[in-house]
Amino acid sequence: MEIKKLPKSKVEFKLVIAWDNWKVFLDDAVQKISKEIKIEGFRPGKAPKKIVEQKVGKEVILNTAAEEAIKKNYPQKVKELNLDTIGSPEIDIIKLEEQVDLEFVVVASVMPEVELKKYKDEVSKLNKAFANEKTEIALEDILKELEKIAKSRAKLVTVRREAKKEDSIIIDFEVRKDGILIEGGLAKDHNLILGSEVFIPGFEDHLLGMKEGEEKNFELKFPKEYHEKNLAGGLAQFKVVIKLVQEREVPVINDEFAKSLGNFKDLEELKKNIEEGIKKEQEFRRQEKRRGEMMEILINKVELSDELPEILVHEEVHKMLHELESQIQQMGMSLADYVGQLGKTIDDLEKDWIPQAQKRIKAALALEKIIKEKEIKISSEEIEEAMNKTC
């Protein structure tokens, strides 16, 4: 069997299915077609071959039978040829007659051969550098985390004074451009902590010094790099009403505060707990950094006998797209809205991601190569343990 290599990791070859092996699919084809069309005097799927042939023609029956024969026989034929095919093949039937062997030409995508150049020295060097790194937690980091925890447990006390930084305020606001309300430019009872800088620059500055019940009108320019292109760099009119001003009373960080958080006997024990938490987080980041650097080494050492199959890259891009969609849905956004804010289309995003998709595939191929070379086997218990950690 001659296998012709084509560009982009495709191959072309001819296959033959003997008449005795594919004629059995004719009856199934007749039954399938008679179920799909209405033939007077016969129940669906019960019309004889001659009647169905008169209704749709011999060629339709032969093609339907050939499709099923190929579907059943193709995987085994490919296995016999020892080809690592991926995706659905392109089939071109070249001989289709009764009493004659079925002949067809296949164009299929195949996995390219993978070679992994010398990588051990670079990986060893990376591991040594990782082992020599020390995780040190500064007292300043612990105190910052303590302050963050304390602020998250602040009590809100309504005040009648002017609003200042760190206050929590409730506002109604409108945003217009050229006098027309912009999309999403109307909000009621919106909670805002002054100093959080979640709005465009300058917005919160106008609210400092305002009191409950006060209204203010002002103009601001949207940043030039603002995600909404029709607003970027443009002037907009704002109308804000302060409905409530609340002072955030942050608890004093002492032994009593530590005890209020759980099973901590004093502040020192809480600090040690925070230090351990920061250490674990830093260790995780170190591990992820090493993992990323190691994968870069392996990706650069991968040599392929041909280009990556387009279908494989296409599937990886779509996998990345689904991953992104899942993430942004958790943020309460749709994929279309997110892509629109970037000023792109989904097609643009897919094209942009092709290089990254290729890297991900190469990384997977490199790991697969190492697993085969090292004969690494993972037990079901190890898999279950890893799954439990992620659940």
> Do 102 and 96 meet the contact criterion of CB atoms below 8 Å apart?
yes
Spatial separation of the C-alpha atoms in residues 116 and 369, rounded to whole Å: 7
Work out the mean pLDDT of the chain and round it to a whole number.
90
Could you tell me whether strands 168-177 and 302-304 are parallel, antiparallel, or unpaired per DSSP bridges? Answer: unpaired
Where is 251: in which H helix or E strand? none
The whole-angstrom distance between residue 319's C-alpha and the CA centroid of its chain comes to 6
Q: Where in the chain is the domain with CATH 3.10.50.40?
A: 154-249
Structure tokens at 262: 């759980």
Asked if 110 and 11 count as a contact pair (C-beta separation under 8 A), the reply is yes
Least Cα distance to 373 among 120, 168, 44 occurs for 120
Q: Tens digits of per-residue pLDDT, 117-166? A: 889 999 999 999 999 988 889 999 999 999 999 999 999 999 999 999 99
- Residue range(s) in the chain whose domain bears CATH number 3.30.70.1050: 4-110
pTM score, whole prediction:
0.67
CATH class of 154-249: alpha beta
Rounded Cα distance between 26 and 61, Å, is 7
pLDDT of the residue at 390: 58
- Tell me the pLDDT tens digit for each residue of 253-268: 999 999 999 889 999 9
Note whether 108 and 85 are within 8 A (CB).
yes
Assign 265 to helix, strand or coil: coil
Q: How confident is the model over 339-374, as pLDDT tens digits?
A: 877 778 889 999 999 999 999 999 999 999 898 888
Q: Which two tokens stand for residue 310?
A: 């387009």
Q: Residue 391 pLDDT more than 60? A: no
Q: Look up residue 321 and give its two tokens.
A: 């797209």
CATH of 4-110 among 2.40.440.10, 3.30.70.1050, 3.40.50.1980, 3.40.640.10: 3.30.70.1050
User: What is the CB neighbour count within 10 angstroms for residue 353?
Assistant: 18
pLDDT attached to residue 140: 94
Give the pLDDT confidence score for residue 382 in this predicted structure: 78
pLDDT tens-place string over residues 183-210: 889 999 999 999 988 899 999 999 999 9
* Percentage of the chain lying above the pLDDT 70 cut: 99
Q: Please say whether the dihedral angle defined by the alpha carbons of residues 288, 294, 299 and 300, taken in this order, is positive or negative.
A: positive
pLDDT band per the 50, 70, 90 thresholds, residue 1 = low
* DSSP H or E segment with residue 337: helix 335-341
